Amino acid sequence: MTWHYQATHRVVDGHDVYEVREVYVGIEGDDDVSWTMDAIAPFGNTKEELIECLELMLADVKKYPVLEVDA
């Protein structure tokens, strides 16, 4: 199993909503994909850790396509 950050898209009350979630690949097989139920926020115990988290999120959001999720 691997995981990465990924931008997700859903429609809520007729409005497009883009969020960042953790996406997990290969939990039950190579093609299996699942994601966190709720969007996630960057975090860190220090300012430097927060910056590192933001940089990882940004790199992954740029790398992977937007994932469509149900509202």
d(CA 28, CA 10): 24
Neighbours of 54 (CB within 10 A): 13
Per-residue pLDDT, 21 = 98
In whole angstroms, what separates CA 18 from the centre of its chain? 10
Contact 7, 36 (CB under 8 A): no
Report in angstroms the alpha-carbon separations of 23 from 35, 44, 70: 4, 20, 14
Digit-by-digit pLDDT tens for the chain (71 residues) are 899 999 999 999 999 999 999 999 987 766 789 999 999 999 999 999 999 999 999 999 999 999 999 86
pTM, two decimal places: 0.87
